[in-house]
């Protein structure tokens, strides 16, 4: 989930459905976080970045400040995550190795 937090930096929350989180970049381009081919991925600029593998379904529930994610995995187990709707701004000096 640390990778998910990192991938959301620099985007602002737009909306969600039951199975998609949608964010926008500073130019208004869409970044969706959803399940594609058994992977939870970030789709952005015609590409996608896998974040969680072996996922068959995701359920998104929004609260005031966060999105609660429930992952149903291929093994039948459930995993849970909480992500902020407005992640902290990207900090170039801290994000570079």
For every residue of the chain, DSSP letters joined together read -HHHHHHHTT-EEEEE-SS-EEEE-TT--EEEEEEETTEEEEEETTEEEEEEESEEEEEEEE-SSEEEEEEEETTS-EEEEEEESSPPPP-HHHH--
Q: Flag whether pLDDT at 72 surpasses 80.
A: yes
pLDDT at 66 over 70: yes
pLDDT value of position 88: 60
Express each pLDDT in 18-61 by its tens digit: 899 999 998 999 999 999 889 999 999 988 888 889 999 999 99
Report field, pTM of the whole predicted structure over 0.85: no
């Amino acid at each position: 989930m640390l990778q998910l937090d990192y991938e959301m930096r620099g985007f602002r929350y737009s909306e969600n459905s039951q199975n998609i989180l949608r964010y926008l970049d500073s130019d208004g381009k869409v970044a969706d976080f959803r399940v594609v081919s058994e992977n939870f991925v970030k789709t952005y600029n015609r590409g996608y970045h896998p974040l969680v593998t072996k996922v068959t379904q995701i359920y998104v529930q929004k609260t005031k400040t966060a999105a609660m994610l429930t992952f149903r995995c291929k093994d039948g187990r459930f995993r849970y995550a909480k992500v902020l709707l407005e992640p902290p701004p990207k900090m170039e000096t801290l994000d570079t190795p």
